[in-house]
Structure 1
Amino acid sequence: MKNFVLLDLIFYVGIPLLIWNYGRDPLGDYYAMLLSTVPGIIYTIYRFIKQKQFNIAGLFIIGSLIVSTTVNVMSNGAENMLWNQVYLGYATAGLFLLSIILLRPLALYFAVDFAYLQGHPRGNSKALFNAKGLFKWFQLLTGLFVFRGIFQNSLKAWLIMQYGVDGYDKMLIYLQVTGWVFTGLIIISYIFISSKITQYLKENDYQIPAS
């Protein structure tokens, strides 16, 4: 865990800040900003392969990466790139919200993926997590993903309006810090839900259906 925190700092903050600060003059704001996203892209792909996230969660990460990279390349300007990232962030939050409305909370499917990596068949886990008394917690957790998207992108929009492109270094730091806070809340929420699952199994003598 400590290694990942250090690597997060290096690839999501440290190297991008170096590229931004030393690349603005020779490259210009837009190309320096675009180049500063490359270390994070490479690191994300590395994490994806190392953690073997070939599932819904992994596909969501890679899909988001492809879309965000495409948007960045097509923005044709540093400030446009920042605003497009905000709009894309709101759209992603909207996707999580839609999954709640459709009663298909993405947090539940992420949990199914995690259980699968621990050796539990997807069908069994999905049936259990959809049980009455457990499903609502995954809906609420997906709501936390929605709130994270709204909060972080609203913060980014505010920073753009306050500082413009010159505030890019602040954005990298503030968004990484708040990202860690939300990651911590999400991990705690999954631990809480795990305790609810254990309690549910004991109280209901639940038999996990065959896959």
Structure 2
Amino acid sequence: MKKLMTLDLVFYTILPFIVWNYGREPFGDYYAMLLSTVPGFIYTIYRFILERQFNIGGLFIIFSLFLSTTVKLLSGNAENLLWNGVYLGYFYAAIYLLSILLRKPLALYFAVDFAYLQGQPREQSKALFSSKGIFKWYQMLTGLIVFRGIFQSTLKALLIYSYGVDGYGHILIYMQVSGWFFGALITGASFFVYSKVKQYIKEQYVESTETEQADGAS
């Protein structure tokens, strides 16, 4: 975890900050800001391949990278690039919210992907996580992700109002810190949901055992 935090800091904050500061004069604000996103893009692709996320989660990452890169290239100037990042954040939050309303919470499908990487069949995990006693927790976990998207997009909008394009370095730092906070919060919530899954499996096992004993006695 500490290593990942260090790598996140380097590729999402330090390197972009350096590229931004030293690239503004030769390239201008827009291209310097565009170039500052390259380290994070390459690092995200590397993490994607390393973690073998060729599934719903992986497809979502690919879609997000494709969309964000397209928007960045079409932004035209530094200020539009920043604001388009805000709009994208709200858009992703809306996707997560829609998955909740459709009762297809994305957090559940990400959990199925993770369980599959641990050797669990997808259909079996999906059936388990969709059980009455567990499903609501994945709805809530997805809701937390929605809140993160809304909060961070709103924070970024306020920072743009306060600092403008010239304060891009400050925006990077604030966004990274808030990203860490929500990352820790969502990780903790995921462990909590996992504990609920384990508890549910245990209860089902006890209930099944008691039923078998009762049938044997009769």
Q: TM-score, normalised by structure 2?
A: 0.93
1:47-98 CA distance string (max 9 Å, x none):
0001111111111111101100100000000000100110011000000000
Q: Which amino acid aligns with 1:195?
A: S
* CA–CA separation in structure 2 for the residues paired with 1:64 and 1:16: 19
As a proportion of its length, which structure holds more helix?
2
* CA–CA separation in structure 2 for the residues paired with 1:9 and 1:67: 23
SS of the residue corresponding to residue 134 of structure 1 reads: helix
* CA–CA separation in structure 2 for the residues paired with 1:191 and 1:7: 23
* CA–CA separation in structure 2 for the residues paired with 1:16 and 1:203: 49
Matched, 1:14 2:14: yes
Task: Map residues 117-136 of structure 1 onto 2, 5 A cutoff.
Answer: 117-136=117-136
Q: 5+ residue gaps in structure 1?
A: none
Matched, 1:188 2:172: no
Corresponding residue pairs, total: 207
Q: Which amino acid aligns with 1:94?
A: A
* 1:80 counterpart residue number: 80
Task: Map residues 33-182 of structure 1 onto 2, 5 A cutoff.
Answer: 33-182=33-182
* CA–CA separation in structure 2 for the residues paired with 1:124 and 1:172: 41
Q: Which amino acid aligns with 1:188?
A: G
* CA–CA separation in structure 1 for the residues paired with 2:23 and 2:95: 35
SS of the residue corresponding to residue 133 of structure 1 reads: helix
1:133-181 CA distance string (max 9 Å, x none):
1000000000001000000000000011111101211111111111111
Larger Rg: 2
Q: Which amino acid aligns with 1:70?
A: T
TM-fit CA distance, 1:6: 1.2
* CA–CA separation in structure 1 for the residues paired with 2:22 and 2:82: 19
Q: Which amino acid aligns with 2:129?
A: F
* CA–CA separation in structure 2 for the residues paired with 1:151 and 1:166: 22
1:172-193 CA distance string (max 9 Å, x none):
1111111111111111111111
Percent identity between matched residues is 65
Q: Which amino acid aligns with 1:30?
A: Y
TM-fit CA distance, 1:2: 1.9
* CA–CA separation in structure 2 for the residues paired with 1:97 and 1:153: 15
RMSD: 1.0
TM-fit CA distance, 1:204: 2.1
